[in-house]
Structure 1
Amino acid sequence: MNRVRSTIGVAALAVVTLVGAGACALDPQADPAGDDLAAVSVSGGLSGERASPGSDQLTAPIPARKATATLGTTRTTVQTTSNKTTASSTCPQGEYQRAVETYLAKLGTFGKVIVDGKQSATDCAAIKKFQQRYDIRPVQGRAGPTTHDVSKRLATTNVKSCKTGSGVTFCIDLTRQTTWAMRDGKVVIPPTVTRTGMRGYATPTGTYKINKRNIKEWSNPYEVWLPYWQRFVGGIGYHQTTTYLHDKSIGSHGCINLLPADAKRFWDWGKVGYRVVVFGRRPGT
């Protein structure tokens, strides 16, 4: 009998990482409005966080019509639809159509919109562009709850409400869940969306300074990378979100979660010593 020999090779890979022992956390707050800054090791997104099912999606698709044949005869009847394309057939109208049109017109950076409460090809293109910019899913041009919420927060953000002074300041409006940057009183990064501390872990208000930066911070014990990490108080800082940003049922443990492109933009502008101003209060905290 021939003997079959098998050899198993085992390779060991040593990985060296930078560990942020207190990255992105506050101690649980007995009083949600408290300012206890003792850090624990938690990621900006909760372990096991889930993405939103897509609140801007239609509840049920309209079934397509099928071709039918009349049995027992030589005649075949086929149901057809018109080739005429309308805005409503390619881009459904949402329940917040007029409001979203109004906010996008005020923002003025997503193309022409007609504020009349009626969906059009022009409106659809602008809404889709807005949804793509802020990662609102699905991108279908429908003015649903998430698109309405995000556009309202951005359009109503008052950049002058942030007391900046001279130099570069990162501003965080907890009430509207937006953040932006200013230099010598002028906006250098326009307001964008963020997600801050959830109930029990409210992001503390106040004026701080960036005291640590790391292109990719490792957070324990949740074992997750925090890209574009910029810490400004305790274990709290700016970083790229690890979950779907618009899932409002969850939040961070105090950190400032950002979309990838926004996290990089704030990283490119940031430096140790730059001022961070946090004001307002996240609804529900």
Structure 2
Amino acid sequence: MRDIGRRGAVVLGVTGLVAPLTLALGTAPAQAASCTTQAGPYQKKVEKFLGRPVDGRQSAADCKAIQAFQNKHGITPNIGYAGPVTWGVMDLMNKQKAVGKKPNKSGKCPVNKGRIACVDLTLQLSWIQDGSRLVYGPVPVRTGRKGYATRTGLKKIYWRDVDHYSTLYNVRMPYSQFFDGGQAFHSVGLSVWNPPGSHGCVNMTTKDAKKYWSLLKKGSNVFVYGRKPGS
């Protein structure tokens, strides 16, 4: 498949968003679904994460708090049920927070390449380092879902388009920096924790995508490793 950029540039295999187009474009969500009275298998863990009384019983207030979290991050069904998808997002957030300012503690991202953008698929985190010095991040990202994995390995940014438009998915992909067969860093107008993931691109908030744009350039190294949970 081909994706023709705003200025006529052609990128083979450009990836896009998995989320519904309405979410990707930032339009208003559908009317809120009714709340469930049923406690989910992760009720206590979800209650703890949200700062609710941890009793394992579903109250109306619990449901509203869970539903608000689901609506914020595009989790469906958004009925306030403490199920595996909702807890999976929360658990990932906890793991990301625990990393702190040492995202490359394991040393998996090369420190002998100068400035490099690292992507940890397992933790859904990215950062920029220069040698062993952390330059920016880590920041949460949204990578390829099952069947559309963000490919691992050492790559280089080969093309940049600050206001890229995907004709394949009819969505804007601002601050696009392509590094592997159409896979790119770019900003999205939805939560970076929105499951199940992208079609291979590394989605970021606008703030982080702008910073990556300013810190990287054509020819900059990118290293992707790990495996996205559930993929």
Which TM-score band (shorter chain)? 0.5 to 0.7
State the distance in 2 between where 1:246 and 1:268 align: 24
1:46 matched to 2:24? The reply is no
Alpha-carbon RMSD across the aligned residues, in angstroms, is: 3.7
Distance in 2 separating the partners of 1:220 and 1:41: 10
Partner of 1:265: 211
1:221 corresponding residue in structure 2: 168
Q: What letter is aligned with 2:230?
A: G
Correspondence for 1:184 among 131, 135, 157: 131
Matched residue SS, 1:244: coil
- Which residue of 2 is the match for residue 17 of structure 1? 6
- The letter of the residue matching 1:281 is R
Moved over 3 A (4+): 94-101, 144-148
Following superposition, the deviation at residue 190 of structure 1 comes to: 1.9
Which residue is equivalent to 1:275? Answer: 221
| Rg larger for | 1
Q: CA deviation at 1:98?
A: 6.2
Structure 2 stretches lacking a partner, 5+ long: 24-28, 30-34, 37-43, 55-71, 75-85
Matched, 1:159 2:104: yes
- How far off its partner does 1:149 sit? 2.7
Alpha-carbon separation, structure 1, partners of 2:137 and 2:191:
21
Asked whether the 8 Å contact 2:49–2:90 carries over to 1, the reply is no
Q: C-alpha displacement at 1:222, in angstroms?
A: 1.7
* Amino acid aligned to 1:46: V
Say if 1:154 and 1:193, in contact at 8 Å, map to a contact too: no
Q: Is the 8 A contact 2:188 2:203 kept in 1?
A: yes
Cα distance in 2 for partners of 1:245, 1:210 equals 22
CA deviation vs aligned residue, 1:118-176 (integer Å, no higher than 9, x gap): xxxxxxxxxxxxxxxxx869xxxxxx844443132242474133123142110000111
Output the CA distance in 2 between the equivalents of 1:179 and 1:193: 6
What corresponds to 1:235 in structure 2?
182
Report the TM-score, using the length of structure 1 for normalisation.
Answer: 0.54
Q: Is the 8 A contact 2:15 2:200 kept in 1?
A: no
Give the letter for the 2:202 counterpart. Answer: I
The residue type paired with residue 263 of structure 1 is: A
Alpha carbons of 1:20 and 1:225: their partners in 2 closer, same or farther (altered >3 Å)?
farther
Select the residue among 151, 155, 163 that pairs with 1:208: 155
Length-normalised TM-score, structure 2: 0.66
- 2:111 and 2:188 mapped to 1: Cα distance? 26
Is the Cα–Cα contact under 8 Å of residues 47 and 222 in structure 1 kept in the other structure?
no
For residue 18 of structure 1, give the secondary structure of its aligned residue in structure 2: coil
- Residue by residue over 1:237-266, the C-alpha shift from the partner in whole angstroms, topping out at 9 and shown as x without a partner, is 1000243322213x2111100011111111
Q: Is the 8 A contact 1:100 1:151 kept in 2?
A: no
Partner SS for 2:223: strand
Structure 1 runs not aligned, ≥5 long: 1-15, 23-38, 54-58, 61-93, 102-116, 118-134, 138-143
1:121-160 map, 5 Å: 145=87, 146-156=89-99, 158-160=103-105
Identity %: 31
